[in-house]
A and B are shown apart, each in its own frame.
Chain A
């Protein structure tokens, strides 16, 4: 009987706490706890990171060497693509100036933050950072990796800390577009640089008969998934997407600026007769073991600015 009363009491207290928590009434307590815990959290993370690296360095040495080779190759390809992109960017800027268009992302203002905690259970995918309301952070703001890929959005903010919902969290859904650019998907011999066709890079005079492929974009929704990480859903069945295509934010809805890198297409799931197909995305940012992230404070999501 005593246990029943105890259980009823705990249940009642929990329900009240959850209710208060949902209405942000417990935020000061949670902020205080994180303030007290932050030094220990940082120390433990600093201690655990090298141990983890050393352990995986020993156990995965062969894998690391193979991955290193693959990354070197990928880097070379990307450098080639970057050179072409810079040229294209310059031309876009010139055209924007000529037409008097407003640039979609003039100058991004980023705020660096240290990751102090990571949601351990796996039911949610979230990290905590040591920046909060006092630093100008607000719910819905976009968080990027050091290299500029999307990591997630601010889901809960306290005075000095904030929780970030990662893009792999089941709650996350982002309007995205697949760039089926000539650079990444054109077949060999079209005169366009491709990772699969190094001969095209080497050859100063590509085949004169082939015309460069037209860049194409396909819009879809990138949603977090417990099983696959990120699933790109609602892709029209006739969209010619393929493994390796870049996926970026589309800017639709106003919660993300256009053109932020999410990742690359990993696998494509096509079903006959289905109006849409889906694909899994390999995130560009390494989402586990993050140490520093950048909060894009210059971009106000539509949900913050209001109608």
Chain B
């Protein structure tokens, strides 16, 4: 059930990314809520779940935005690795790690996507694309982390409560 719910949210965010969000430009780029969601998911949910949901989110991304199918599936993969690296560190809150995963994950995703576009024979202006798109997008995506992090934290807490009995839901931050 949780996978279906997460896949539906991913699909909705993928659709929103290409339809409503292009109207909202910050630093001349459009935030990628699906990438932010996938990164938050990788940080907050167990690794087993992330290993399924993150590629699914990448697939949704490709299906809606006209990229070669698989480009974002591989582009999102570093999110799981980054979340795993962060899990090794002892941290009190997962919010800061989520910000870091989103920022670095966006840069990785941009680099991988540019590689895929280049390999598939499309023109990519690497320097301009990095400076004008990928780096601003990393900043903008980081600003949008609370939008997916907070609901996911509540969902995770509620889920734990359902499995382990009644517990007080603490602040997401």
Contact = CB atoms under 8 A, between A and B. Distances in A.
Genuine A/B complex: yes
B103 interface: no
B97 interface: no
Interface string A41-83: 1101101110110000000000000000000000000000000
B64 A37 contact: yes
B114 interface: yes
A14 to B, nearest CB: 4
Contacts of B24: 48, 52
Interface in B107-150: 110, 113-114, 116-117, 119-120, 122-125, 128-129, 132-134, 137
A15 B19 CA distance: 27
B71 A41 contact: no
Contacts of A120: 17-18, 21-22, 30, 32, 65
A17 to B, nearest CB: 3
Interface residues of A, number: 50
Interface of A is mostly: helix
Contacts of B133: 121-123, 226
B39 interface: no
Given A7-B77, A124-B122, A170-B125, A289 B23 contact: yes
Interface in A8-47: 10-11, 13-18, 20-22, 26, 29-30, 33-34, 37, 40-42, 44-45, 47
A122 B69 contact: no
Contacts of B125: 170, 225-227
B69 A17 contact: yes
Interface of B is mostly: helix
A15 B137 contact: no
Given A22-B68, A122-B133, A170 B123 contact: yes
A34 to B, nearest CB: 7
Contacts of B17: 120
Contacts of B169: none
A37 B68 contact: no
Contacts of B122: 124, 171
A186 interface: no
Given A45-B19, A119-B18, A3 B84 contact: yes
A20 B117 CA distance: 15
User: Interface extent on B, as a size class?
Assistant: 35 or more
B15 A40 contact: yes
**Best-surrounded residue of B66, B80, B84 (most CB of chain A within 10 A):** B66
B83 to A, nearest CB: 10
Contact of B129 (A37, A40, A123, A128): A123
A41 B15 contact: yes
Contact of B65 (A14, A117, A227): A117
Interface in B8-67: 11-12, 14-25, 28-30, 32, 51, 55, 62-67
Contact of A123 (B20, B77, B114): B114
Contact of B69 (A29, A42, A45, A117): A29
Contacts of B25: 288
Nearest to A32: B63
A40 B129 CA distance: 30
A121 B64 contact: no
Contact of B80 (A6, A21, A163): A6
Contacts of B62: 17
A283 to B, nearest CB: 16
A116 interface: yes
A121 B25 CA distance: 11
29 contacts: A6-B51, A6-B80, A13-B55, A15-B74, A16-B70, A17-B62, A17-B73, A18-B119, A20-B69, A21-B69, A30-B69, A40-B19, A41-B15, A45-B23, A48-B20, A120-B21, A120-B22, A121-B29, A121-B113, A121-B137, A122-B30, A122-B137, A123-B114, A123-B129, A225-B128, A226-B125, A226-B129, A226-B133, A289-B22
Interface of A: 3, 6-7, 10-11, 13-18, 20-22, 26, 29-30, 33-34, 37, 40-42, 44-45, 47-49, 51-52, 116-124, 126, 128, 156, 163, 170-171, 225-227, 288-289
Interface of B: 11-12, 14-25, 28-30, 32, 51, 55, 62-71, 73-74, 77, 80-81, 84, 110, 113-114, 116-117, 119-120, 122-125, 128-129, 132-134, 137
